[in-house]
Amino acid sequence: MSELVKVGLIGASGYTGSELARLLAHHPCAKLVAATASGERVGQKLSDLFPSLRGICDLELEEIDLDKLAAQCEIVILALGHGKALEIAPQLIEKGVRVIDLGADFRLRDPQIYEQWYKLPHTAPETLQEAVYGLPEWNRAQIKTAKLIANPGCYPTSAILALAPLIAADAIKAHSIIVDSASGVSGAGRASFGVGTHFPELFGDFKVYNVASHRHTPEIEQGLSDAATNSNDPDKRALVTFTAHLLPIARGILSTCYAAPTEQCASGMNVHDWREILLRRYEDEPFVRVLPAGQFPQLKHVVGSNFCDIGIEVDPRTGRIIVISAEDNLLKGASGQAIQNLNLMCGFDETAGLQGAAIFP
């Protein structure tokens, strides 16, 4: 690779696309050299769509031309709707380009599970076998050499980071997990705004959606099961009740996770012992912060940054473990994590371009 890695972006007109452009504009080792869109957006500047990028990223949006992108770029990031990467990613890989996909098309290893939850045929099973799930804290070694990264979903990132160390330590029962997550409305995407996300109806409200049917459920279960010491044991396979909530704010995810301890951890452990499990797993991780006992994550402490904050408590009355995590859904939950993966793929410092603190207040 050249000293300054050339990056292409397919699907630049959404929130994750604008965040990627912003992050890459200040990246010390990578440069966004091409960005694509469709329809009437072709020919416009990225800064026309996002005036916040004026003078920072004024690239002209082009139609998708995979041959041209392959000639220009070493890595292409896909920020597209579900199903669209199935055709594009295999072609780019065949042309020698490494791909980071922000959609769901290559996250689930079983194509039948993908088809069940996304109601789309999986037309690239061979490419699926090459994909690496891009959660750096758990798959760093595989990410470094991957041709295709399946960037995790925003909700799964928050839940897996919170619970996987406890699963790995055989400290919680894999079938007892409940995850309640609340996200800012930007998680729906820029093109998805309708009555349910219209300001007068959203403001001052708080609601659930996709109850018992959210598409991120199998991704959370897969990620947690992978952390188990014996993932082939049916009792170690995660079974998760996941409920998503919509917050009347722009961005951020706060997940509250509940689980029952295993028999060997059901007594004699206090909150400091439980926190130590998290701390041992994440003490060297640059973007996961395990909070002191008695402190809990807040969105204002992470929004605008690539950090995921985690706090833990034990309910002495029920014996349940409560793990709370917070992240920016557009950064650690999407574009920031994509840059973290890019850094690993290219051998850069993992924190390159991502060192900023949260925006507070």
* DSSP assignments along 174-195, one per residue: TTSEEEEEEE-GGGG-GGG-SG
C-alpha distances in Å from residue 261, one per residue of 258, 280, 314: 10, 18, 10
Question: What mean pLDDT do residues 262-291 have?
Answer: 96
Reduced to 3 states (helix: H, G, I; strand: E, B; else coil), residue 276 is: helix
How far is it, in rounded angstroms, from Cα 99 to Cα 4?
17
pLDDT band for 39, please (50, 70, 90 cuts): confident
| Correct CATH for 5-151+334-346 of 3.40.50.800, 3.40.50.80, 3.40.50.720, 2.60.40.1220 | 3.40.50.720
List of residues 6+ apart from 32 with CB closer than 8 A? 7, 8, 9, 20, 21, 24, 25, 57, 59
Give per-residue pLDDT as tens, 291-347: 999 999 999 999 999 999 999 999 999 999 999 999 999 999 999 999 999 999 999
How far is it, in rounded angstroms, from Cα 253 to Cα 238?
22
Check whether domain 155-327 has CATH 3.20.20.120, yes or no = no
How far is it, in rounded angstroms, from Cα 272 to Cα 241?
26
Please tell me the predicted confidence (pLDDT) of residue 310: 99
Please tell me the predicted confidence (pLDDT) of residue 337: 98
| DSSP assignment string, 222-273 | HHHHHHSTTTTSGGGS--EEEEEEE-SSSS-EEEEEEEPBPGGGSSS--HHH
Question: What mean pLDDT do residues 112-138 have?
Answer: 97
pLDDT band for 1, please (50, 70, 90 cuts): very low
Please tell me the predicted confidence (pLDDT) of residue 239: 96
Please tell me the predicted confidence (pLDDT) of residue 191: 59
Q: Which residues are catalytic?
A: 154
Please tell me the predicted confidence (pLDDT) of residue 196: 57
Question: What mean pLDDT do residues 117-140 have?
Answer: 98
Query: Who wins on pLDDT, 190 or 67?
Result: 67
List of residues 6+ apart from 163 with CB closer than 8 A? 172, 177, 179, 224, 257, 259, 323
Question: What mean pLDDT do residues 65-72 have?
Answer: 98
DSSP element (H, E) containing 126: helix 125-128
The ranges assigned to domains in the chain are 5-151+334-346, 155-327
Question: Taking the alpha carbons of 131, 134, 135, 137 in that order, is the dihedral positive or negative?
Answer: positive
pLDDT of 15 > 90? The answer is yes
Please tell me the predicted confidence (pLDDT) of residue 38: 85
Say which DSSP state 119 is in: -
Question: What mean pLDDT do residues 188-199 have?
Answer: 60
How far is it, in rounded angstroms, from Cα 35 to Cα 21?
9
The percent of the chain in helix, strand and coil, each rounded to the nearest 5, is 35, 20, 45
- Looking at the chain, the whole-number percentage of residues with pLDDT higher than 70 is 96
Question: What mean pLDDT do residues 245-268 have?
Answer: 95
Question: What mean pLDDT do residues 53-64 have?
Answer: 96
Number of H helices and number of E strands within the chain?
12, 13
For residue 258, count other CB atoms closer than 10 A to its CB: 18
Please tell me the predicted confidence (pLDDT) of residue 231: 63
Least confident of 100-109, 141-150, 188-197: 188-197
Mean pLDDT of the chain: 94
- Looking at the chain, the whole-number percentage of residues with pLDDT higher than 90 is 88
pTM: 0.95
Query: Who wins on pLDDT, 186 or 124?
Result: 124
pLDDT of 194 > 70? The answer is no
